[in-house]
Chain A
Amino acid sequence: MMTMAMITKIMRSVIFTALVSSLACGALYAQSTDLPAGAGQDIAQNSCTICHNASIITQQHLSPAAWTKEVDKMIRWNAPVLAADHDALIKYLADNFPVRPDAGLTYDLPVGPGRDVVQSACLSCHDASPILSAHKSSVQWVQTFHQMERFGTKLTPRQRAIVLNYLSKSVSASPQPPASSIEGR
């Protein structure tokens, strides 16, 4: 049984969809802010981008729990998400904009044995820039490990050895990507 309120809601949704599709098809956000294709893209378009740009979504890298929190907040704020679409929307967001420790990083870790351990042990809490600029001795790195363990980092002795080896071998040898040129005086 369809009530008047439901009809209005659907009408709104149709108009929003038309509006939003025209937005998405325009040249405006074609490169940086479109929502990627995939199951749930239509839900995100209908539910989210009627009020704000896709770029607010696409710049995020969040866990499923964090996406759930955001979606539920927006629903409290009247975002039109059908109950049946709730989980699919979160899955779409979590799949397409997941936590990637080095996502979008200016300072990426160089390739080398142990990179994966460093990535999971260190980059889940901070980006790679302090590691790359530190130039620490092994003794200093051990001190840093103690400091980080107070913040909850857990490393087995074997992992520590892998990380130390990586830091001394790969990081100091890593090339820095040059961008533009300036001349000194």
Chain B
Amino acid sequence: MSRKVVDDQTTGPLWQFSAARREWLGQGIRLAGAAWAAGMLPPGMLGSFSVLAQGLPQGSDRLIVRSAKFLDLETPVNLLNSWITPTNLFFVRDHLALPNSPGPEWRLNITGEVEKPLSLSLAELRHMESTTLTNTLECAGNGRAFYRPRAAGIQWERGAVGNARFTGPRLVDLLKHAGLKATAKHVAFDGFDDPPGKVPDFIRSIPIEKAVDDDTLVALEMNGGPLRLEHGYPARAIVPGWIGSASVKWLSEIKVLDHEFEGNFMNPGYRLPNSPLKPGQPVDPKDTHPATALRVKSTITRPGDGTLSKGRSIEVTGIAWAGENQIEQVDVSDNGGKTWSPAKLGSERATYSWRLWSFNWTPPSEGDFVILSKATDNKGNAQPEIPDWNPSGYLWNGMGRARVRVEA
């Protein structure tokens, strides 16, 4: 009595691109070109037009376009149904214009509190011993749309997350080559993307302890191929288990510092209040700290929210991750959390990777249900129904949720 899933697509055609769109883009580029020639455009802008020239990144037209400029693409959750997220379906979060792909002159410079500054070519990096690590990357703003009061920023829902294999030299090996001075306390990553006007450069730092962790990489590859431009070609940091913005893309400089970097994207950007706030309550910047590791979280990938289901048994599937911790358990409820039943965790696992999970749900009756999912990690942290509010809407990890109407 096996009937197959016909359709669980829930996302509208928000993201469909047309021939007219491409034609129009051509016009935009010509105009941009003319303005550029006349010296009227800030340098950061041209890159964004050149990506528009190609429309979306290749094969990414099933993603939700939160913004086309700057490029912010969210994965519909029903596509997050494999342990490894295909690169073309992986969410994209760019703060600034996508830079042009660099030529052979590109170098990665290791500078700052080191004995011997380094300048390495891509070929030299590729010759180093490399490590492959499967890492769940999640934007700190994933789920921002669910916070009340709303926070300013891209209104991500559930799909600014993906799981991929990243390959490249360990950051610690590069730092050892350069020789860390005793004053080395933090490591800052800077990309060659160019901010327009006085927009601050996207530079973020991590503490030295995380930088010299064996699992922190300078990734050159993603899912077995060279990084695509929108994912940071030719090299990006991979700071496993931490918010996506720690893993800076398009690296050009790794600077060892004797203090935490103090630019906009460290402060006021990407900070959390030290103690819980009432929703909407302002916080003194002194009472905040940088967001680091991801929180325990599960998301339902099927059935889609608002599904009409016929039949006696429905397979509920999802993903669950916990940053630097391990997923211990995922539970499912069909009665608002009065009772919970454990889901079956998928066999594929890695230290910083999500687990797939599934639950064979037999609806107790016909009618309307809200299916909830709740993840628990190996440190005993459980996914809350609603997370504490914070002013910038970071790290939302409220329970997974899908409404289903069951008919005979």
Which residues of A line the B interface, CB within 8 A? 11-12, 15-16, 18-19, 22-23, 26-29, 32-33, 51-53, 55-56, 59-63, 66, 69-70, 76-79, 99, 101, 104, 106-107, 123-127, 129-130, 132-136, 151-152, 175-185
Contact call B313/A180, Cβ cutoff below 8 A? no
B152's contact among A15, A55, A69, A101, by CB below 8 Å, is which? A69
Contact call B67/A55, Cβ cutoff below 8 A? yes
B148 surroundings in chain A (CB, below 8 A): 101, 123-127
A32 to B69, CA, bound (A): 14
B232 is an interface residue with CB less than 8 A from chain A: no
B6 surroundings in chain A (CB, below 8 A): 181-183
CB-nearest residue of chain B to A173:
B368
Which residues of B line the A interface, CB within 8 A? 1-10, 14, 18, 20-21, 24-25, 27-28, 31-32, 35, 38, 40, 45, 65-70, 72, 145-150, 152-155, 196-200, 278-281, 302-315, 335-338, 368, 370, 372, 385-386, 389, 398, 401, 403-405
A26 surroundings in chain B (CB, below 8 A): 20-21, 24-25, 27-28
Please classify the interface of chain B as helix (H, G, I), strand (E, B), loop, or mixed, using the class held by over half of its residues.
loop
A96 to B21, CA, bound (A): 26
A61's contact among B14, B150, B305, by CB below 8 Å, is which? B150
A124 to B389, CA, bound (A): 12
Please classify the interface of chain A as helix (H, G, I), strand (E, B), loop, or mixed, using the class held by over half of its residues.
loop
B197 surroundings in chain A (CB, below 8 A): 51, 77-79
CB-nearest residue of chain B to A51:
B196
A152 surroundings in chain B (CB, below 8 A): 278-279, 281
User: Chain B's nearest CB lies how many Å from the CB of A96?
Assistant: 15
A136 to B370, CA, bound (A): 13
Contact call B4/A183, Cβ cutoff below 8 A? yes
Contact call B149/A28, Cβ cutoff below 8 A? no
B146 surroundings in chain A (CB, below 8 A): 126-127, 129
Contact call B21/A181, Cβ cutoff below 8 A? no
CB-nearest residue of chain B to A13:
B40
B7's contact among A51, A78, A180, by CB below 8 Å, is which? A180
A70 surroundings in chain B (CB, below 8 A): 152
Contact call A125/B3, Cβ cutoff below 8 A? no
Given A152-B278, A178-B405, CB of A28 within 8 Å of CB of B3: no
B370 surroundings in chain A (CB, below 8 A): 129, 132-133, 176
Contact call A130/B385, Cβ cutoff below 8 A? yes
A125 surroundings in chain B (CB, below 8 A): 148-149, 278-280, 389
User: Chain B's nearest CB lies how many Å from the CB of A175?
Assistant: 7
Most interface-central of B4, B152, B398 (chain A CB within 10 A): B152
A55 surroundings in chain B (CB, below 8 A): 65-68
User: Chain A's nearest CB lies how many Å from the CB of B269?
Assistant: 11
A77's contact among B7, B145, B199, B335, by CB below 8 Å, is which? B199
User: Chain B's nearest CB lies how many Å from the CB of A136?
Assistant: 7
